Structure 1
Amino acid sequence: MPAGERLPGAPEREERIVLHVDMDCFYASCERLKDPSLEGEPVVVGMGYEPGETVGAVATASYEAREYGVESAQAIGSALDSLPRKAEHPDDPDAGYYRSVDMDCYQDVGGEVKEILYELGDTVREVSIDEAYLDVTDRTAWDVAEGFGRHVKQRIAREVGVPASVGVAPDMSTAKLASDHDKPDGLVVVRPDDVREFLAPIDVADVHGVGPVRARELREMGIETAGDLADADPYELADEFGERGRDLHRRARGEDDRPVEPRGKPKSLSRESAFDGATDDFERVREQVATLAEAVADRATRKDAFYRTIGVKVVTPPFDVHTRAESLPGPVDDPDLVDEVTQELLGEFADESVRKVGVRVSNLDFSEREQASLTGFADREGATESDRNRDWERDSGEDDTDGQASLGEFE
């Protein structure tokens, strides 16, 4: 029977629909947000290229920079040999632009992308600052899955301003390979009946879980592609690699049953919103923060989360990020308090132009307890100034994850 066909009369399988969203050259894309003149230019983001510095590496390189041989994780010295720095060679048409890593900016932009993904996915598994899986089985259907994937890309491009590649497949491993298949700014949909055909020509080193060492061992066995791995004897693979061999055999066949699950309990919950250009209308800013505070408090209640810290984020031109937070004496679930505290913290920026605002609750507590109320925390006015102004990044990591997201891109 040809691959993908079902026996006559066999019931239709209920296939999951999984998206893998991968931001293209994310750090470089963020630098272009800050400086639109970099669009289309070779951009290298890293550390160690300043005069007097001798050690450093490339965090990411735009596709234009890669054409000159610059690669992620490459030593800066080697990168500069391939692509001179424009600041030092302004008349050289083959020079590029070098930028230092700006994690505040990248975390901020990444947070905006993740807010969209949480809105669109049934469940979301964050992998890093620029990568996530979404299970959208209950949000769409296979006959319109391509349109759904395009909608995800378009929302990220329109609302955040950075490109993303999206892979759509019935399992996580294939979705990951699909998102890598047509970079940059790609969209590849692999329907359930097409998985084996899609996977067959892919290099065995790219199969999830293989890696360079095992790829070399598999090649010594005559296995060059995912198709070869899928056709190999699973017992021989198990003899050679143990249960891991069976896992790799299944993944090469598109048999990856891992569910898309969040990686542990979140440490913070937040919402952010950007204005169409910077605004000097502080009442408009206040109204937006009130809306965000209501949304965040409701989200915490629905997740049965209590919080010990309430904070705001204010972004002023050109891209200066300011965060303020107040720590409470104990955990609460109190929407009115979230609104009150965020408005107080916001008052510091009454005379500023504002391009974006955010609200966050953090130091979350998911233990079962009776509803906490403001009554037990009437002494919050006695909090120290240092308590009130603790930076919210201390508590966060990425929103809705089990800790700090990976900061290295190294595509």
Structure 2
Amino acid sequence: MDDGVGATRADAEDRILLHVDMDCFYASCERLREPELEGEPVVVGMGYEAGETTGAVATASYEAREYGVESAQAITTALERLPRKATNPDDPNAGYYRPVDMAFYEDVAADAKAVVNDLGDVVREVSIDEAYMDVTERTNWEVAEGFARHVKQRIEREAGVPASVGVAPNMSAAKIASDYDKPNGLVVVEPDEVREFLAPLDVADIHGVGPVRARELRELGIETAGDLADADTRDLVDRFGDRGRELAERARGRDDRAVEPRGKPKSLSRESAFADPTDDHETVVEQALALADAVADRATRKGALYRTIGVKVVTPPFDVNTRARSLPGPVDDPPLVRKVAEDLLAEFDGATVRKVGVRVSNLDFTDDEQASLGGWDGDGNGNTDGSADGSGGDSDDTESAREDSEDGGAEGEADDEEEGDGNRSGQVSLGDF
């Protein structure tokens, strides 16, 4: 099967694609940090503190939406509809407001992205909380639902947040399927069911139809996806150009676009959560060394050299600690990844750990002969008096909890993002990644 841009329609219909969308992501992250917020109306945004006059809602939980609070809404409007619990403690209709903490959200997203990249044949990350996966070679339609459930369960277990997943033979149908049964939904649309599944949906639900285009289509009497599928393509092209044909094809369940990665990843990571938090340092190190092997192998297979090796240690309740060490140049050196990871973890001997991770970052994709530090004249710990970028100084970079890693991105495989498909009424982009 050709999974490139030139895939035939028959090939496209054989594909099994997943669209993963983490529900009310910023609010879910806040609930991860404060479990007592579960089931409560939560608003993440800016400008709600006393004396502040401007701001907007970044995301609102489903409970907050019941009060009319929406993403991109002026914070003053949100406060009118849902008073703040902190200033109205006795009001049963008040909600919880939290400031945007992108460093924390990016860290949680990295955990979810690590799962997506581990389970997908090809992955296209769209935003901090959304990605497409091509899993054609990993599963088949008979067990696709079980595979998708496994993706959901691993994200919830390893990242701690819920995700909705849509499964379909093409990207646009998969995205619609993930939105169909939110929150925490799972919808599978098999190849011979796509057009029937789409037909009764509002035309605005078709991937690529925004509010303006939906209004224009309704002016033509096109109210549903079925109406759009049945419309005369020539009339649509006359009115909307090639975009009209494209939207009609999607309404008919056809979308030949292949899931393709966007750009080169900036880092590669693997993480693992313990069933119960442990203070057994040997257990933590043993798990980290297995992760180090997996990360180093993945880097080798991708032809990636790395300038930085790091670890992440999550301690209860959800305190994230990252440590990283810069190298004098880009290398492909699996034994060094193990050694540096073990050295960095020494600081956490005796700590109770709920999750551990290993990452290589500052990647360099070149065809040059691979480098190794096996014979490098250093102190054995990866320390030198020159930093990876040649700026000099101490190269043992220690990062405080929830701060960005030294390469400026969150952990996870790919930090390069494309802009999402408009505001999905769930969350506002705040310059994510």
Alpha-carbon spacing, 1:271–1:31, altered in 2? closer, same or farther (3 Å): same
SS at match of 2:20: strand
- Find the aligned partners of 1:151 and 1:315 in 2 and give their Cα distance: 23
SS at match of 1:389: strand
- Find the aligned partners of 1:215 and 1:151 in 2 and give their Cα distance: 35
Corresponding residue for 1:389?
A: 397
Query: Is contact 2:313–2:320 with CA below 8 Å preserved after alignment?
Result: yes
- Find the aligned partners of 1:168 and 1:214 in 2 and give their Cα distance: 26
Alpha-carbon spacing, 1:314–1:159, altered in 2? closer, same or farther (3 Å): closer
Number of residues paired by the alignment?
Answer: 401
Query: Is contact 2:122–2:133 with CA below 8 Å preserved after alignment?
Result: yes
- Find the aligned partners of 2:155 and 2:14 in 1 and give their Cα distance: 26
Query: Is contact 1:271–1:358 with CA below 8 Å preserved after alignment?
Result: yes
Alpha-carbon spacing, 1:213–1:332, altered in 2? closer, same or farther (3 Å): same
SS at match of 1:396: coil
Query: Is contact 1:329–1:377 with CA below 8 Å preserved after alignment?
Result: no
Corresponding residue for 1:400?
A: 413
- Find the aligned partners of 2:42 and 2:238 in 1 and give their Cα distance: 47
Corresponding residue for 1:410?
A: 427
Corresponding residue for 2:110?
A: 111
Where structure 2 has 5 or more consecutive residues not aligned to the other structure, the ranges are 1-9, 387-391, 400-404, 429-433
The reply to whether residue 95 of structure 1 matches residue 94 of structure 2 is yes
Query: Is contact 2:13–2:191 with CA below 8 Å preserved after alignment?
Result: no
Alpha-carbon spacing, 1:103–1:126, altered in 2? closer, same or farther (3 Å): same
Query: Is contact 1:200–1:225 with CA below 8 Å preserved after alignment?
Result: yes
SS at match of 1:274: strand
- Find the aligned partners of 1:60 and 1:108 in 2 and give their Cα distance: 18
Greater RCO structure (CA 8 Å; 6+ sep):
2
Corresponding residue for 1:302?
A: 301
Corresponding residue for 1:319?
A: 318
- 1:405 offset after TM fit, Å? 7.5
Corresponding residue for 2:5?
A: none
- 1:256 offset after TM fit, Å? 0.4
- Find the aligned partners of 2:318 and 2:138 in 1 and give their Cα distance: 35
Query: Is contact 1:19–1:169 with CA below 8 Å preserved after alignment?
Result: yes
TM-score w.r.t. structure 2 length? 0.86
The reply to whether residue 125 of structure 1 matches residue 124 of structure 2 is yes
Which residue identity lines up with residue 267 of structure 2 in the other structure? S
- Find the aligned partners of 2:411 and 2:89 in 1 and give their Cα distance: 38
SS at match of 1:69: coil
- Find the aligned partners of 1:400 and 1:283 in 2 and give their Cα distance: 27
Q: Which aligned segments of 4 or more residues in structure 1 are displaced greater than 4 angstroms?
A: 11-14, 404-409
State, as a whole percentage, how many aligned pairs show the same letter.
70
The reply to whether residue 143 of structure 1 matches residue 139 of structure 2 is no
Corresponding residue for 2:249?
A: 250
Query: Is contact 1:268–1:395 with CA below 8 Å preserved after alignment?
Result: no
After TM superposition, the structure 1 = structure 2 runs for residues 234-249 of structure 1, keeping only pairs within 5 Å, are 234-249=233-248
- Write the deviation string for residues 346-397 of structure 1: whole angstroms up to 9, x where unpaired: 2233353333222111111111011212167535522355532165253435
- 1:184 offset after TM fit, Å? 1.1
- 1:406 offset after TM fit, Å? 6.8
Query: Is contact 2:56–2:72 with CA below 8 Å preserved after alignment?
Result: yes
After TM superposition, the structure 1 = structure 2 runs for residues 191-210 of structure 1, keeping only pairs within 5 Å, are 191-210=190-209
Which residue identity lines up with residue 412 of structure 2 in the other structure? D
The reply to whether residue 65 of structure 1 matches residue 68 of structure 2 is no
Query: Is contact 1:397–1:405 with CA below 8 Å preserved after alignment?
Result: no
After TM superposition, the structure 1 = structure 2 runs for residues 38-49 of structure 1, keeping only pairs within 5 Å, are 38-49=37-48
Alpha-carbon spacing, 1:157–1:309, altered in 2? closer, same or farther (3 Å): closer
Query: Is contact 2:125–2:414 with CA below 8 Å preserved after alignment?
Result: yes
- Write the deviation string for residues 194-245 of structure 1: whole angstroms up to 9, x where unpaired: 1111111222222122211222222222222221221122222222222222
- 1:77 offset after TM fit, Å? 1.3
Which residue identity lines up with residue 289 of structure 1 in the other structure? A
Alpha-carbon spacing, 1:112–1:406, altered in 2? closer, same or farther (3 Å): farther
- Find the aligned partners of 1:399 and 1:192 in 2 and give their Cα distance: 32
Corresponding residue for 1:190?
A: 189
Of 251-260 and 196-205, deviating more is 196-205
- Write the deviation string for residues 129-188 of structure 1: whole angstroms up to 9, x where unpaired: 211111111222222222222222233334433222111111000010011111112111
SS at match of 1:382: coil
SS at match of 1:262: coil
TM-score w.r.t. structure 1 length? 0.90
Which residue identity lines up with residue 396 of structure 2 in the other structure? R
- Find the aligned partners of 2:414 and 2:232 in 1 and give their Cα distance: 39
- Find the aligned partners of 1:315 and 1:402 in 2 and give their Cα distance: 21
Where structure 1 has 5 or more consecutive residues not aligned to the other structure, the ranges are 1-10
- Write the deviation string for residues 63-99 of structure 1: whole angstroms up to 9, x where unpaired: 1111111111111111111111111111111111111
SS at match of 1:378: coil
- 1:269 offset after TM fit, Å? 0.3
- Find the aligned partners of 2:419 and 2:376 in 1 and give their Cα distance: 36
C-alpha RMSD of matched pairs (Å): 2.4
- Find the aligned partners of 1:139 and 1:300 in 2 and give their Cα distance: 21
SS at match of 2:407: helix
Corresponding residue for 2:34?
A: 35
The reply to whether residue 348 of structure 1 matches residue 361 of structure 2 is no
After TM superposition, the structure 1 = structure 2 runs for residues 149-160 of structure 1, keeping only pairs within 5 Å, are 149-160=148-159
Query: Is contact 2:107–2:410 with CA below 8 Å preserved after alignment?
Result: no
- Find the aligned partners of 2:54 and 2:334 in 1 and give their Cα distance: 49
Alpha-carbon spacing, 1:361–1:13, altered in 2? closer, same or farther (3 Å): closer
Corresponding residue for 1:289?
A: 288
Alpha-carbon spacing, 1:404–1:166, altered in 2? closer, same or farther (3 Å): closer
